[in-house]
Structures are given as C-alpha cells and as structure tokens.
Amino acid sequence: MAGLRAGKAERAPLFASIAAELKREIASGRFAQADLLPGERELSEMLEVSRTTLRRAIAGLVEEGVLVHRHGAGTFVRRNPPRVEQPLSRLTSFTEDMRLRGLAPSSKVIEQGTFLPTPEESMMLDIALTEQVFRLERLRLADEAPMALERAAVPLRYLDGGELGGSSLYAALATAGFRPVRAIERIRAVVVGAAQAALLGVPEGSPTLDIQRVAYASDGRRVEFTRSVYRSDTYDFVAELTLSPGARARTEGAIR
C-alpha cells in the first residue's frame, strides 16, 4: 500500500493531505468492491499517521459526503446516488417514481404530527389558520441514497384521522378518497445550508432544487402543500414543450 503513503513534506495540514490522499484512492476505485474502508488501526498504519490525524481526515470526508459512518458497521465510501429523470408533466409520488425506475424507495421521518398551519400553509392550502394539518417532514432515499428532503402539509380532514398507514403519503390520500389528480409546481435553484446538506449527504453550499407543490383532488380541493429540496446531482426534471395551437396554425399556414 505504498501508494497510500501521504506526502508528509506537504505544507497543508497533515490531516488535509491525508484526506486528499484518501479521496484520490477512492476515486481510483481502491475501496470500490466492498465500499468499506479498512479499520482505523490498519489505515493509520498504511498511511503512517496517528489515529487522531486519521480521524480528523475521515471526519472531514464524512462532512463532505465522500464517506459515511454506519453505526456498528464501519466507515463506507458513499456510493454514487442514482440519477433520475423526472418528466414534469406526470403527477406521481416519490414512491411511484422510484419504483418505476427499479429503485427501492425509503424514508427517514424527521418530524410528523398534527399542527395548526403556518400562515404560508394556510394560504397555499386555502384553509383557515384554525384548521389542523398533518405535517410530515422526511428524508427520501432511493436505494438508500438520499435524494430529497420533503415537508408536506395536508389538511387533517383528508387523511382519515391523520394516520399515515404505510409509508406513502399519496397512498394514504388515495385510501381516504383524495388522491391528488393535478398539481402546480414551482421550482427554484437554491444553495443548501449546513443542516440540510448534512442530511442530504452533500457539501454545504451545493446547488439544490427547491420545489413547491400544491396538489388538488378531483373535486378541485387543495389536499397537499409540499416543499421539497432535491439534490441537483441526482434529479433532472424534463419538460416536453409544444407550440400553442394558435402558433401551430400560423406555422402550418406559413409552410403551406
């Protein structure tokens, strides 16, 4: 493992050059098979550095999202998250989207419960400030890779007493007879702050897509207001564009 030996003569702090060396090794695919880094003792011997320096280098790489600690299992190279192309015109849920692509959807609930709406939620859902909403904040994963953070608010009356049965919000709405059939989305580019970056496993300041969705049931009632932050390195939104009927008629007229 001579190639792993860090250049101690470099002027950067030792832990930083160790981190850079580890990154180069990861990029070259050295730990690719199992994705698991060797143990701390083995690695510190390979690199000829103290365990304290190694720990600092590893902590920096975990913060950057290059490595990930799994409790009781060790430190792993973070696998490249799957890249997903999502048509903008199809109204689907995260669970459906991921399954359609052969990926396993999962979620980590950050917060859930029944609350009074925020002024923004009450406005977007067109409900009184006194009407209760079920709020659900989740980290959404595909094949265990973080894809998005979502904060959904649904008026409680559309959820059969607020129980989320399974793990899909849209399935719960469908069971209650309020499956969204139409939605309006607003997408903006934002850079991510420290807390959200840590959850999404990306460096602070990474570009993300901030998406607001208001979804409507078939009778026109607003059943969902969700704010999502999607990793822009994993999600492409694709839109099909067509000419308006008037412009099309004019174009065809000009050709004839």
By the 8 A CB rule, do 109 and 136 touch?
Answer: yes
Q: Which is nearer to ligand 16G, 94 or 158 (CB)?
A: 94
Residue appearing with tokens 């939605």: 183
Q: Which is nearer to ligand 16G, 21 or 224 (CB)?
A: 224
Q: Which is nearer to ligand 16G, 4 or 199 (CB)?
A: 199
User: Rounded to whole angstroms, how far apart are CA atoms 230 and 233?
Assistant: 9
Q: Does 226 bind ligand 16G (CB under 6 A)?
A: yes
Residues in contact with ligand 16G, total (CB under 6 A)?
14
Residues near 46 by beta carbon (within 8 Å), at least 6 away in sequence: 1, 4, 5, 38
Shortest distance, CB of residue 130 to ligand 16G, whole angstroms? Answer: 24
Burial 23-36 (b: 16+ CB within 10 A, else e): bebbeeeebeeebe
User: Rounded to whole angstroms, how far apart are CA atoms 56 and 191?
Assistant: 26
Q: Does 208 bind ligand 16G (CB under 6 A)?
A: no
Q: Which is nearer to ligand 16G, 16 or 156 (CB)?
A: 156
Could you tell me the two tokens for 121? 């939620």
> Which of 169, 192, 223, 229 contacts ligand 16G by CB under 6 A?
169
Kindly report the number of other CB atoms within 10 A of residue 223's CB atom: 24
User: Rounded to whole angstroms, how far apart are CA atoms 231 and 199?
Assistant: 11
Q: Does 232 bind ligand 16G (CB under 6 A)?
A: no
Q: Does 227 bind ligand 16G (CB under 6 A)?
A: no
Shortest distance, CB of residue 214 to ligand 16G, whole angstroms? Answer: 9
Considering only residues 148 to 167 of the shown chain, the ones binding ligand 16G according to CB under 6 A are 150, 152
By the 8 A CB rule, do 119 and 207 touch?
Answer: no
Q: What angle do CA 49, 51, 55 make, to 5 degrees?
A: 110
Handedness of CA 190, 193, 197, 200 (dihedral sign): negative
Q: Does 234 bind ligand 16G (CB under 6 A)?
A: no
Q: Of 30-38, 50-58, 89-97, 239-247, which part binds ligand 16G (CB under 6 A)? A: 89-97
> Which of 47, 77, 211, 214 contacts ligand 16G by CB under 6 A?
211
Q: Of 32-40, 67-75, 222-230, 241-249, which part binds ligand 16G (CB under 6 A)? A: 222-230
Q: Does 94 bind ligand 16G (CB under 6 A)?
A: yes
Q: Which is nearer to ligand 16G, 15 or 170 (CB)?
A: 170
Q: Does 139 bind ligand 16G (CB under 6 A)?
A: no
Q: Which is nearer to ligand 16G, 57 or 98 (CB)?
A: 98
SS percent in the chain: helix, strand, coil, step 5: 35, 30, 35
Residue ranges in contact with ligand 16G by CB under 6 A: 93-95, 150, 152, 168-171, 211, 213, 224, 226, 228
